[in-house]
Amino acid sequence: MSAATRIAGKDLKLRLRDRSAFILGVVTPLALSYIFYLVFGNAFVSESLDVEIGLVDLDNTEISQSLGEVLGAIEDQGIIGVTTFDDAGSAEAGVEDGEIGAFILLGAGLGDAALAGSPFTIEVVGDIDSPTTTQIADSIASEFGSGIGRAQLSVSTAIGLGEGPPPAEVVNWGSEAAQRPGAFTFVDVSAETRQLDASTFFAAGMAVFFLFFTVQFGVIGLLEEEQNGTLSRLLAAPIGRTSVVAGKGIISFALGIISMTVLIVATHFLMEARWGPPLGVALLVVTGVLSACAIMGLIASFAKTPEGAGNLGAIVAVVLGMLGGTFFPIGQGNAFLSRLTLLTPHAWFMRGLSDISGGADWTAALPAAAALLLFSVVFGSVAWVLLQRRLTR
Partner 1 sequence: MTTVLAADGLTKSFDDLVAVNGVSFEIAEGETFGLLGPNGAGKTTSISMVAGLLEPDSGSVHVAGTPIRTNSTAGRADIGLVPQEVAIYPDLTATENLKFFGRLYEMNGAELDTRVAEVLDVIGLGDRKDDLVKEFSGGMQRRLNIGIGLLHRPRLLILDEPTVGVDPQSRNAILESVEELSAQGIAVLYTTHYMEEAERLCDRVAIIDEGVIQAEGTRRELVSLVGQKDRISVTSSGELGDVAKIAAGLPGVTDASASDQGIEVLTDDAATLLPALMSCFASEGATITAVQIFEPNLEAVFLHLTGKALRD
Q: Which of 30, 45, 102, 234 binds partner 1 (CB under 8 A)?
A: 234
The C-alpha torsion from 215 through 220 and 224 to 227, rounded to 10°, is 180
The stretch among 140-148, 150-158, 230-238, 339-347 that binds partner 1 (CB under 8 A) is 230-238
Q: Does residue 13 bind partner 1 (CB under 8 A)?
A: yes
Q: Which of 42, 156, 157, 228 binds partner 1 (CB under 8 A)?
A: 228
**Nearest distance from C-beta of residue 238 to partner 1, angstroms:** 4
Q: Does residue 238 bind partner 1 (CB under 8 A)?
A: yes
Q: Which of 31, 237, 343, 377 binds partner 1 (CB under 8 A)?
A: 237
Q: Is 316 exposed, middle or buried (0-12, 13-18, 19+ CB in 10 A)?
A: middle
Phi, psi of 147 (to 5 degrees): -60, -45
Phi, psi of 2 (to 5 degrees): -80, 165
Q: Does residue 128 bind partner 1 (CB under 8 A)?
A: no
Which is nearer to partner 1, 235 or 314 (by Cβ)? Answer: 235
- How many residues contact partner 1, by CB under 8 A? 23
**Nearest distance from C-beta of residue 259 to partner 1, angstroms:** 20
The stretch among 238-246, 249-257, 344-352, 354-362 that binds partner 1 (CB under 8 A) is 238-246
Q: Which of 3, 88, 191, 378 binds partner 1 (CB under 8 A)?
A: 3
Neighbours of 88 (CB within 10 A): 16
Q: Which of 18, 50, 87, 112 binds partner 1 (CB under 8 A)?
A: 18
Q: Which of 10, 194, 268, 390 binds partner 1 (CB under 8 A)?
A: 10
Q: Does residue 239 bind partner 1 (CB under 8 A)?
A: yes
> Which whole-number Å values give the CA distances from 326 to 98, 201, 202, 206, 211, in the listed order?
31, 8, 7, 6, 11
The stretch among 156-164, 201-209, 225-233, 272-280 that binds partner 1 (CB under 8 A) is 225-233
**Nearest distance from C-beta of residue 19 to partner 1, angstroms:** 11
Which is nearer to partner 1, 233 or 339 (by Cβ)? Answer: 233
Instruction: Give 49's DSSP letter.
Output: G
Which is nearer to partner 1, 15 or 351 (by Cβ)? Answer: 15
The stretch among 68-76, 115-123, 180-188, 228-236 that binds partner 1 (CB under 8 A) is 228-236
Sign, CA dihedral 221-225-226-231, equals negative
The stretch among 2-10, 116-124, 143-151, 269-277 that binds partner 1 (CB under 8 A) is 2-10
Cβ density class 144-179: b for 16+ within 10 Å, e for less? bbebbbbbbeebeeeeeeeeeeeeeebbebbbebbe
Q: Does residue 6 bind partner 1 (CB under 8 A)?
A: yes
**Nearest distance from C-beta of residue 239 to partner 1, angstroms:** 6
The stretch among 170-178, 232-240, 270-278, 300-308 that binds partner 1 (CB under 8 A) is 232-240
Cβ(136)–Cβ(82) below 8 Å: no
- Looking at the DSSP bridge assignments, the partners of residue 84 are 55
Distance CA 370, CA 257 (A): 18
Cβ(376)–Cβ(291) below 8 Å: yes
Q: Does residue 392 bind partner 1 (CB under 8 A)?
A: yes
Cβ(376)–Cβ(367) below 8 Å: no
Q: Does residue 190 bind partner 1 (CB under 8 A)?
A: no
The 3-state DSSP class for residue 104 equals strand
Sign, CA dihedral 317-322-327-332, equals negative
**Nearest distance from C-beta of residue 11 to partner 1, angstroms:** 9
**Nearest distance from C-beta of residue 301 to partner 1, angstroms:** 18
Tell me the residue type at 367: P
Cβ(67)–Cβ(106) below 8 Å: yes
Distance CA 308, CA 303 (A): 6
- Looking at the DSSP bridge assignments, the partners of residue 52 are 81
Give the residues lining the site for partner 1 (CB under 8 A). 1, 3, 6, 10, 13-14, 17-18, 228-230, 232-241, 392-393
